[in-house]
């Protein structure tokens, strides 16, 4: 029997807190019976929910805390109030102590990143962590990073994002050599900022065995799925992600409006309900829920604060997949390969002097 995968859940984060965390855990457990949970939060809130979901209760180790990070807390405030004792910190600390394979929180993104960086520490050779998110495409799903962990990135950091994103694509999608592209204002090599062009050159010269560099991609290429991983810095990545989510909602609203304009359109919708059900699934932004913090000594998943139970289950399942398939080991493997291939050889020893 395969080893149990344990998820540490911050039950007090997000707009709805435990009301979606426990039902979301139940959905994920139904799909992955080899899961166990460590849930952190207020016992008065969570105990009645666990009683309603006995399957989750049986698979859960619960720890009470009455301290929760507020959604409007600044990272510094969250650290002062919640370090060592909040549900968010305790979930992350469970990963550090090897008591969980990954942590999931729908809480304050800035606070979660700050606590994760302090508690887990950035991995060796990684200068800046990044947030990687799923993006539905015409060919399936791709990854986008950085989705907003930090603003700006130099060439070395973009290179690291590419390596980490490719490792995640291998763990999540089962690809042997994911295709990686750099988001740019054009596909020509002479276009874009110096850091983007330099990162492209680094990826081309690295020729890593587990990563295929696909060159530059433009914004309208993301949804086409021409690459498995789209790499950019956090400012641009967050705008791209929010634009994609907003566009999905807009198209869904337009479709509902068009289908309800007349009796004939409603009849057409009834006749084509299977096609519209498929469209609804593809436009469901809950499928995009679950940003993975990459570049730390542990796995942390950020769920949308407004996620429902199905959305929170999606975030848990992403953590399950990448933990089951050894994400951290794959990142370390790829970075080690790069370091070895680009190590500066030691100078040859000087020949011994012959006495005269």
- Compute the distance between CA of residue 190 and CA of residue 198 in angstroms, rounded to an integer: 11
Instruction: Say which DSSP state 59 is in.
Output: T
How confident is the model at residue 285, as a pLDDT?
Answer: 56
Structure confidence at residue 134 (pLDDT)? 86
CATH code of the domain made up of 127-288: 3.40.718.10
What's the pLDDT tens digit per position in 215-249?
999 988 988 889 999 999 989 998 988 888 787 77
Q: Which stretches in the chain have pLDDT values below 50?
A: 1, 344-348, 356
Domain residue limits, the chain:
1-125+295-325, 127-288
**Among 289, 306, 293, 287, which residue's Cα sits nearest to residue 95?**
293
d(CA 39, CA 147) in angstroms, rounded, equals 26
Same fold, 1-125+295-325 and 127-288: yes
Q: What is the model's pLDDT at position 336?
A: 77
- pLDDT mean across residues, the chain: 86
CA angle 152, 155, 156 (to 5 degrees): 105
Residue spans of beta strands (DSSP E) within 15-105: 35-41, 60-64, 102-105
- Res 1: pLDDT: 40
Which single residue is written with the structure tokens 């004792």? 85
Please give the order of strands across the beta sheet that includes 229-231. 60-64, 35-41, 5-10, 102-105, 300-302, 291-294, 130-137, 140-145, 229-231, 179-183, 212-217
Looking at residue 122, its pLDDT comes to 86
| pLDDT score of 344 | 45
157-173 confidence digits (pLDDT tens): 999 999 999 999 998 88
Per DSSP, the residues of 153-220 read --HHHHHHHHHHHHHHHHHHH--SS-EEEEE-S-SSTT-S-HHHHHHHHHHHHH--TT-EEEEEE-GG
Q: What is the pLDDT of residue 352?
A: 54
The H-or-E segment that residue 46 falls in is helix 43-52
- Class of the 1-125+295-325 domain? alpha beta
């Amino acid at each position: 029997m395969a080893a149990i995968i344990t998820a540490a859940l911050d039950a007090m984060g997000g707009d709805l807190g435990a009301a979606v965390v426990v039902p979301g855990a139940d959905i994920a457990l139904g799909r992955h019976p080899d899961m166990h949970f460590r849930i952190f939060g207020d016992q008065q809130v969570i105990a009645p929910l666990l009683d309603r979901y006995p399957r989750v209760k049986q698979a859960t180790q619960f720890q009470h805390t009455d301290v929760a990070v507020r959604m409007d807390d600044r990272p510094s405030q969250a650290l002062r109030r919640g370090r060592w004792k909040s549900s968010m910190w305790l979930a992350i600390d469970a990963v550090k102590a090897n008591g969980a394979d990954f942590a999931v929180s729908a809480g304050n993104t800035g606070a979660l990143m700050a606590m994760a960086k302090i508690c887990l520490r950035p991995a060796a050779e990684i200068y800046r962590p990044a947030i990687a998110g799923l993006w539905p495409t015409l060919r399936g799903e791709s990854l986008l990073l950085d989705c907003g962990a930090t603003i700006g990135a130099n060439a070395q950091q973009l290179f690291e994002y590419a390596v980490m994103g490719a490792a995640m694509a291998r763990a999540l999608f089962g690809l042997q050599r994911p295709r990686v592209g750099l988001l740019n204002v054009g596909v020509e090599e002479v276009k874009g900022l110096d850091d983007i062009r330099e990162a492209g050159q680094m990826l081309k010269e690295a020729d890593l065995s587990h990563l295929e560099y696909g060159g530059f991609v433009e914004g309208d290429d993301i949804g086409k799925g021409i690459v498995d991983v789209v790499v950019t810095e956090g400012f641009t990545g967050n705008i791209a992600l929010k634009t994609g989510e907003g566009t999905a909602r807009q198209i869904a609203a337009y479709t509902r409006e068009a289908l309800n304009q007349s009796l004939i359109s409603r009849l057409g919708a009834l006749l084509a309900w299977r096609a519209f059900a498929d469209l609804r699934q593809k436009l469901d932004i809950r499928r995009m829920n679950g940003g993975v913090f990459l570049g730390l000594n542990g796995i942390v998943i950020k769920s949308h604060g407004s996620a429902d139970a199905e959305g929170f289950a999606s975030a848990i399942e992403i953590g399950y997949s990448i933990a089951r398939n050894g994400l951290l080991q794959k990142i370390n493997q790829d970075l080690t390969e790069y370091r070895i291939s680009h190590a500066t050889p030691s100078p040859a020893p000087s020949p011994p002097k012959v006495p005269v």
